[in-house]
Structure 1
Amino acid sequence: MQQLTEERRSELESVVSVGYDGSESMRAQMVLAWFDGESAADIARRFGASKPTVYKWVDRFEEAGVAGLEDRTSTGRPRSVSDSVRSRIVALTKLGPPKETGLTHWSSYEMAKYLRRREGISVSHNFVAELWREHGLKPHRQGTFKTSTDPEFATKVVDVVGLYLDPPEGAVVLSFDEKTQVQALDRTQPLLPISFDKTEKRTHDYVRHGTTNLFAALEVLTGKITGQTFHRKRTKEFLRFMERLVKRYPAEQEIHVVLDNLKTHNNGDVNEWLAKHPNVKFHFTPKGSSWISQIETWFGIITRQSIRRGSFKSLAELIRHIENYIDHWNEDAEPFEWTATADQILEKVAMLDRDYVKLVANNYNPK
């Protein structure tokens, strides 16, 4: 499930508060409930709908934003739109809004207005949204990317992915990282539970009671988590955690740890520790490629399910909360399924690099 940005949440809440068409308001409430973690069955029960209906409106919102929540009505034969107009809309979408508009991205409404005002093209925002769906365009959404500059990128990808897909027989494979500066935020007023309204409510302002650093390792085969919090994040804390981690397994068992190449993970003290633990081997991820470490996926889950919506009156309360969540997770932990081969990843990255070079070259305009 995708994360709901503050901007998109505000758009949905405006539909709910202003009302619009009553059905649109209800659909916006369904979508908000879905992104707040409510199940499709519960949403359907609360609004007197079916689960397929809930999924339909969530899908339409992800495709076209709030415009996707409108009824798609037809009053006879659809108006014909020329191929040249369609091509112009697609081209404008890919180029982004012109500078004079002051926009950072298109919405279907803004695109329709721009075409009518500046280019004399009259199409509805519904048509724009439908055309975007046909071409798989989602200008209302934004992702992130980063290309690795590690000269050993390919070698490290093959090494790490090989551990995921074909680990040595009898060996333990662990994915490790630190989630730093986890904040103990306390809302200035108590949370209002769902019983007061259709969603839980919280204040926007908060008091900060300090931060902690979560060290965690995911056992790739089982999905179980070993975690510990530390006040600081140094080699000293890292080795203390590693010592605790390896004691969970027999002294002679082969242990492979996937981790990033920070100085705290790769220095003289660490090499000395590894010499004393010959059954432990470190496998470093490529620089700028944290996505290849499976623990990062779990960090995203604990953030959404346990930390982001929490309210903690002290740092100790936050730490207990994290420990409780790890225990809860481990009760029925399941491994993440890694499906991409090293060859597929390297081919995809090579394609991205080529396309990015073209993009930079085509848009470089020296002053």
Structure 2
Amino acid sequence: MVARAIAGSISASTVRRWLAGDALKPWQYQSWIFIRDPDFRAKAGHIMDLYARISDGVPLGRDEYVICADEKTSVQARCRCHPTLAPGQARAMRINHEYDRGGALAYLAAYDVHQAKVFGRTEATTGIAPFMNLVIQVMSEEPYASAKHVFWIVDNGSSHRGKTAIDRLTSTFPNAVMVHTPVHASWTNQIEIFFSIVQRKVVSPNDFTDLDEIRDRLRAFEDRYNATAQPFQWKFTTSDLDDLLARLDRHTADHPEESSVALAA
């Protein structure tokens, strides 16, 4: 502006206001991904039905339960090089940027969708054995041990992927039924909502002296959560799912070049 003699001088705040009011904002973006799972509707619809306490068109009985489970990887202990300053009047908490690394652990959790109960555990890493430890922890307790069915909703991570994982679960607990989310559809798994709460209320701002402090904080939060939590108000139904897929079909019909690029990729 100054070089072109449009203005004698101009402040950064003025430029910022002009850019904020402009129609084009190239620094903003949204990411997206095409549906690649050929069984997306069937898998997602089954999960939506389970959230509504329905399976194969039949209401779930009192002795049938729905569990969402997953792993939260690499929860790090970052010991700040200077003490954290507590918040005060008109002052936010102040966290020193520099830290020493105190290691990392994996947090595995299972969430009873309709009872709003969380079962959690920490492990050195993720994998088949740590995930099965979580399953055993839940399925060894009542009412799950003697339940007619316990549906386990999981994503397609390596710890519980494919028919091998289904067979492993069923052979260990015949009343357990593994239900996989569609590929790239972790948003259909309610455990992700719980993990987002853990990230905000437990992990952030990540100021832990060691891994034991993380374990203690997670256990204390689970106790508090289980004493007060209510089930998530999941409002996305199979009807909403069909509407979404119909909109995507119309968009693909209007923009066939996008679907061609996706198929090529």
Q: TM-score per shorter chain, which class? A: 0.7 to 0.9
Q: TM-score, normalised by structure 1?
A: 0.59
Give the equivalent residue in structure 1 for 2:45.
158
In 1, the alpha carbon distance for the partners of 2:256 and 2:108 equals: 39
Q: TM-score, normalised by structure 2?
A: 0.79
- Residue ranges of structure 2 left out of the alignment (5+ in a row): 1-12, 55-59
Give the equivalent residue in structure 1 for 2:35.
148
Q: Does the alignment pair 1:275 with 2:162?
A: no
- Aligned residue among 336, 340, 355 for 2:251: 355
In 2, the alpha carbon distance for the partners of 1:271 and 1:107 equals: 58
Counting matched residue pairs gives: 239
Q: Does the alignment pair 1:300 with 2:196?
A: yes
Q: Does the alignment pair 1:259 with 2:168?
A: no
Give the equivalent residue in structure 2 for 1:38.
none
Change (3 A) 1:246 1:209: same
- Aligned residue among 151, 163, 181 for 2:74: 181
Change (3 A) 1:205 1:330: same
In 2, the alpha carbon distance for the partners of 1:336 and 1:242 equals: 22
Q: Which has the higher contact order (CA 8 A, sep 6+)?
A: 2
- Kept in 1: contact 2:19–2:25 (CA 8 A): no
In 1, the alpha carbon distance for the partners of 2:41 and 2:99 equals: 45
In 1, the alpha carbon distance for the partners of 2:89 and 2:256 equals: 51
- Residue ranges of structure 1 left out of the alignment (5+ in a row): 1-65, 68-105, 112-124
Change (3 A) 1:161 1:193: same
In 2, the alpha carbon distance for the partners of 1:344 and 1:260 equals: 21
Q: Does the alignment pair 1:109 with 2:4?
A: no
Alignment of 1:73-222 (within 5 A): 109-110=18-19, 125=21, 142-167=29-54, 168-170=60-62, 171-195=64-88, 198-222=91-115
Give the equivalent residue in structure 2 for 1:77.
none
Greater fraction of residues in strand: 2
Change (3 A) 1:354 1:231: farther
Larger Rg: 1
Give the equivalent residue in structure 1 for 2:10.
none
- Identity rate of aligned residues, in percent? 26
In 2, the alpha carbon distance for the partners of 1:189 and 1:311 equals: 10
Q: Does the alignment pair 1:286 with 2:178?
A: no
Please give the root-mean-square deviation of Cα atoms over the aligned residues, in Å. 3.0
In 1, the alpha carbon distance for the partners of 2:67 and 2:198 equals: 18
| 1:201-253 Cα shifts (integer Å, max 9, x gaps) | 11122222111111101111121111001002111111111011111224330
Change (3 A) 1:344 1:179: same
Name the SS of the counterpart of 2:255 in structure 1: helix
Q: Does the alignment pair 1:328 with 2:224?
A: yes
| 1:59-99 Cα shifts (integer Å, max 9, x gaps) | xxxxxxx99xxxxxxxxxxxxxxxxxxxxxxxxxxxxxxxx
Greater fraction of residues in helix: 1
One-letter code aligned to 1:355: H
Name the SS of the counterpart of 1:194 in structure 2: coil
Report the CA distance between 1:305 and its aligned residue: 1.3
One-letter code aligned to 2:61: E
